Structure 1
Amino acid sequence: MTPKDAIKTRAGIDRTWWKEAVVYQIYPKSFNDTDGDGIGDLRGIERRVDYLDDLGVDAVWLCPVYESPQADNGYDISDYRSINDAYGDMDDWRRLLSTLHERDIRLIMDLVVNHTSDEHEWFQRSRQGDSEFKDYYIWRDGTNNGGDPPNNWESVFGGSAWTYDEVRGQWYLHLFDEKQPDLNWRNPDVRESVYEMMNWWLEKGIDGFRMDVINLISKTNGLPDGDEDGGLTGAEHFFNGPNIHDYLREMRDEVLSDESLLTVGETPGAGVDDARTYVGPDGDGLSMVFQFEHVSFDHDEHKWDAGDWSLVEFKQIIAKWQNGLADEGWNSLYLNNHDQPRMVSRFGDDSTYREESAKLLGTLTHTLQGTPFVYQGEELGMTNASFASPDELRDVEAVNFVEEALEQGDAASYDDVRDAVEYVGRDNARTPMQWSDAPDAGFTDGEPWIDCNSNYETVNVEHARADENSVWHYYQDLIELRHDRDVLVYGAFDLLVPNHPAIFAYTRTLGDERGLVVLNFGTDPVEFVVPDSITLDELELALANTDVPTAPRPAFELGPYEAHVYLTP
């Protein structure tokens, strides 16, 4: 199978399909429901493959559809080789794979192997002390005669990272929900079981893996107490742990030796230097990583303290990663996903300039060096939702945050924390895909598992595809432009006006090809003066989100959230 556009040959370019691809992320529970149970399913995705093909994407990253009790919406897996009944069955999955491949769209499966569900057979046998599975998880005796957790590590979802199990009479580690016990990667039998499962999926014809929190699989030997002064207690002992590179290189050798596979590792807490060790043939062999610096730089002590952000700092972070992985690795490009709020609500203007800022943000992610990831609904300019009551929340992380704030007296009522929930809560990204202005956005004929965003009557696929100036059509143009122009994929990045508070501008250069991207991240008009180093008569307008002259001028004004892309003819 080949990418949508045949890979062209060019001296000096190390071509790889996933570098030239645009990946579309599907959160199946919220994408398209065909059986009226209010939960999206595999048949629903299959019915929308033509939509993905029309948009122009090259690959789909499918969030977990495995058997799961859904404590964390599928990231708590009870059987890696079975499909959850709510989504369909293995025949439905095979049809989806075939339908995607018929249109030259690859399929990337989610790999969740830091933890399983506590309902997984491995855990059930481990808690019983079964000799084969006894050490598949991280069990410890408690302190203070067993009455307190083994150490002070905190769960990402709040509270202690340890839960006492009455059956085994010990505590088990869970860096996330208590129903998500961490696997013991020090046990070679665990690693062998994981590799067997990965090969099982590859033999079915998938094209790679997105690896959930993969840099958390190694923990410091002895599990010492963590630093309690700010941040997540214990993180220094499980983010980028001591054996992580041994494990990933073993995984590469046992499973991922085919470099045509797309492997993207989710690596919270990883910096540029860490990323270089994870990616490429000289590192652990991953294609790229998802880093979090650009989506967490406005967080204070924890994510719920997120607030004001500076474009100058944002540009510094983007430039650091662009330059840091330019010659040693590859970037992933994203501003939102199933764990992040909607990008137009966070980095743009989701009211007056919703369409302009959605187009501008899309321009950014499709004209930097790296592989763009489009999260479902992003191409419509979908926004954060409103949750008037905690009863409307479905995300275990948000529910835990609200309950803990009320129990500890940090909030007198839900209204005291509502702004935080609606700013960064994960449910913002998980409201149903907005297909039409029909009831429940055309997502389901039943009652949706989570309420639709109230703006679906105006923000939806049907309206967007009927409007040639919509965000959807702009994304279609962006994807086509990136497919057509090597400079936007492989070109070197150079940041311009780094200290300007509103303008994000940069060049891309590949041999004789040149690109200039100018973005106004604000509601006020601003003037951009083209640097003397850029020869204006060598550039022409390739794309803009407003009507602008076809060639750049020595100085020109950009309106609110205006975006220009100029390229060598």
Structure 2
Amino acid sequence: MAADAPSPATPPPWAWWQRGVIYQIYPRSFQDSDGDGVGDLAGILRRLDYLESLAIDCVWLSPIFPSPMRDFGYDVTDYTGVDPLFGTLEDFDRLLKALHDRGIKLVLDFVPNHTSDQHPWFQESRSSRYNPKRHWYLWRDPGPDGGPPNNWLSFFGGPAWSYDPGTGQYYLHQFAREQPELNYRNPEVLEAMRHCLRFWLERGVDGFRVDVIWLLIKDDQFRDEPVDPHWDGYHPHGRLKHIYTANRPEVHAIVRAFRALLDEYGERVLIGETNVPNDQLVQYYGAKLDECQLPFNFQLAYTEWQAPAVRALVHRYYAALPPGAWPNWLLGSHDLPRLATRLGSAQARVATLLLLTLWGTPTWYYGDELGLTNVPIPPEQVRDPQALNQPHLADRLGRDPQRTPLPWDGSANGGFAPPGATPWLPLGADYRERNVAAESADPRSMLSLFRALTRLRRATPALQVGAYAAVESGAEEVFAYSRELDEERYLIVLNFGGRGYRLDLRSVGAGARILLSTGLERCGRVPLGSLELAPHEGLVLYVEAPRWSATTERHRPRTLP
């Protein structure tokens, strides 16, 4: 049960990507409209009522470009088209207009680090050492032993180099061998990519999420990378310290060139996939805030899920932000195990409340609002190249389990695909109970919680753009903080543990009203001097007659210059 939020004064104008919630759709798994077992643009168009009901503000669409689908769209053969599997450019235009008509933005997933080996650029590049596009990709002579030119590794297992017998050289690929990497030291490549971005900007897209932006340029001397003595043995790629293939200082000029183009089109957003440590992450804002508006912050997805650890990382991240930079948070993506699998169903609800009330733009992964868990994939149905290339590590590294179709109801194929069709990946065994229709009818479901939170956030400017301040709870397993705007103060209290607490939070105020609980079962006035908090419970409270501490460090958002 959620109470109505007070209506504080309207804040100054903020960019939509600062106020809103971003929702990632993996198109293959959202809705199949034609019975081929794969989701498509027409299917997304069919489900706009659902997207609107989530009170999200932007759809991030994983790649829809023409592709052999070796890496399911992250191997592109044409950056200015739509793969027939998903529909046509006309279908895309219809979807974009329909989203805009409902006030929802659209961000495309852009993949500039590598193409498919079937892309015409690479076909030309490998045709001859003397082809004009030879230097659009990274080619090297064999090493002294006739093998790869250096020790660089692929994320998908083995060397990052493949030999081309036709020209007698190796080409670089840090993912599948069918994904050769472009050479951004060649200015023609950057200009070609800017041309592709312009194509979509002219069609009206609202921005781009740029895949592996931190990898776009490599060491010009192609030096061996050193062994990492602290490697944990989890992922073979981590055996080396990637100082020559990632986070090269020259990459920032490329990011600025992308951002400068987007700025020509008004309020567009550049989101960078920056799966890097905090000190490197903040560099992608740019010295003049002229790079990514939102360098993706994965830290919540990787940290130990304990209140002290989460509290510490939140404070470190806010403290590291450049002046005027805007934070962002995510808990899931197509590359991460499902939220409920990582944390369990009770803490997944706490994490959802955290994500949607912290200062910063939240990004949400489709299906996590249902509490979906990873789906076991039989060996014969594995599709992910990272798992196929490393079958002995498939259980650990495979990404198919979090990419399975969204169940809409309890019918055959969960309403994802027509009866008789075979979905490209299997649905979860519990899809007849855990689906959109069933959870929409349950007022205390995970879906109901998500909708209540997004609606509360939309109606409460302080939760969108208000200042953040830590609050001392006195309990090790409790993380508490406030969001403040004008004279309004909201208190968020999150219990990361399995025992209940009675908290003394009189430093914040004498009393408060519960606006929302993770169990959707509490509302009404409570005394802050003896606040009861159940195990695994999170609360959003409106503080009545708040007390202000002159010593409290607050992180105050600023509008863009």
**TM-score, normalized by length of structure 1?**
0.87
Query: SS where residue 134 of structure 2 aligns?
Result: coil
Match of 1:78 in 2: 77
Task: Point out 4+ residue stretches in structure 1 off by more than 4 angstroms.
Answer: 8-11, 497-501
Per-residue CA deviations over 1:285-324 (Å, capped at 9, x if unaligned) read 32111133333346xxxxxxxxxx5442233223322343
Match of 1:268 in 2: 275
Match of 2:556 in 1: none
Preserved contact between residue 152 and residue 234 of structure 1 (Cα < 8 Å) = no
Do the aligned partners of residues 34 and 171 (structure 1) sit closer, same or farther apart at CA in structure 2, a change above 3 Å counting? Answer: same
Cα drift, residue 360 of structure 1: 2.0
Distance 2:187 2:442 in 1: 56
Q: Which amino acid aligns with 2:139?
A: W
Match of 2:447 in 1: 472
1:402 is the counterpart of 2:391: yes
Query: SS where residue 81 of structure 2 aligns?
Result: strand
Report sequence identity in percent. Answer: 37
1:436 is the counterpart of 2:409: yes
1:235 is the counterpart of 2:242: yes
Distance 1:117 1:501 in 2: 50
Query: SS where residue 171 of structure 2 aligns?
Result: strand
Match of 1:544 in 2: 517
Cα drift, residue 470 of structure 1: 1.9
Distance 1:277 1:258 in 2: 24
Query: SS where residue 452 of structure 2 aligns?
Result: helix
Cα drift, residue 545 of structure 1: 2.2
Query: SS where residue 374 of structure 2 aligns?
Result: coil
Distance 2:324 2:468 in 1: 14
Match of 2:142 in 1: 142
Q: Which amino acid aligns with 2:406?
A: M
1:219 is the counterpart of 2:218: yes
Match of 2:43 in 1: 44
Cα drift, residue 534 of structure 1: 0.8
Preserved contact between residue 211 and residue 272 of structure 2 (Cα < 8 Å) = yes
Preserved contact between residue 276 and residue 328 of structure 1 (Cα < 8 Å) = no
Query: Residues 50-199 of structure 1: matches in 2 within 5 Å?
Result: 50-129=49-128, 131-145=131-145, 147-199=146-198
1:325 is the counterpart of 2:331: no
Q: Which amino acid aligns with 1:439?
A: A
Query: Residues 223-302 of structure 1: matches in 2 within 5 Å?
Result: 223-229=222-228, 230=231, 231-233=238-240, 235-258=242-265, 260-271=267-278, 273-279=279-285, 282-297=288-303
Do the aligned partners of residues 43 and 479 (structure 1) sit closer, same or farther apart at CA in structure 2, a change above 3 Å counting? Answer: same
Preserved contact between residue 540 and residue 566 of structure 1 (Cα < 8 Å) = yes
Preserved contact between residue 126 and residue 136 of structure 1 (Cα < 8 Å) = yes
Cα drift, residue 326 of structure 1: 7.8
Match of 1:503 in 2: 478
Preserved contact between residue 83 and residue 89 of structure 1 (Cα < 8 Å) = yes
Preserved contact between residue 466 and residue 483 of structure 2 (Cα < 8 Å) = yes
Preserved contact between residue 219 and residue 237 of structure 1 (Cα < 8 Å) = yes
Query: Residues 331-350 of structure 1: matches in 2 within 5 Å?
Result: 331-347=327-343, 349=344
Distance 2:224 2:13 in 1: 45
1:377 is the counterpart of 2:376: no
Distance 1:366 1:151 in 2: 45
Per-residue CA deviations over 1:306-347 (Å, capped at 9, x if unaligned) read xxx544223322332234338441222211111111111112
Cα drift, residue 270 of structure 1: 4.0
Query: Residues 473-488 of structure 1: matches in 2 within 5 Å?
Result: 473-488=448-463
Query: SS where residue 51 of structure 2 aligns?
Result: helix
Distance 2:499 2:522 in 1: 14
Match of 2:354 in 1: 364
Preserved contact between residue 505 and residue 518 of structure 1 (Cα < 8 Å) = yes
Cα drift, residue 205 of structure 1: 0.7
Q: Which segments of 5 or more consecutive residues in structure 2 lack a partner in the other structure?
A: 1-7, 232-237, 545-561
Q: Which amino acid aligns with 1:402?
A: P
Q: Which amino acid aligns with 1:293?
A: Q
Cα drift, residue 165 of structure 1: 1.2
Distance 2:261 2:99 in 1: 27
Per-residue CA deviations over 1:212-240 (Å, capped at 9, x if unaligned) read 11111021221111011232525111221
Distance 1:165 1:495 in 2: 57
Q: Which amino acid aligns with 1:432?
A: P
Per-residue CA deviations over 1:68-111 (Å, capped at 9, x if unaligned) read 11111111111111211111111111111111111111110111
Identify the match of residue 526 of structure 1 among 500, 513, 530.
500
Cα drift, residue 256 of structure 1: 3.5
Aligned residues: 524
Distance 2:39 2:142 in 1: 42
Match of 2:559 in 1: none
Cα drift, residue 208 of structure 1: 0.4
Cα drift, residue 527 of structure 1: 0.9
Cα drift, residue 475 of structure 1: 1.4
Preserved contact between residue 470 and residue 480 of structure 2 (Cα < 8 Å) = yes
Q: Which amino acid aligns with 2:250?
A: N
Q: Which amino acid aligns with 2:300?
A: H
Query: SS where residue 335 of structure 2 aligns?
Result: coil
Match of 2:4 in 1: none
Preserved contact between residue 359 and residue 463 of structure 2 (Cα < 8 Å) = yes
Query: SS where residue 364 of structure 1 aligns?
Result: helix
Preserved contact between residue 142 and residue 150 of structure 1 (Cα < 8 Å) = yes
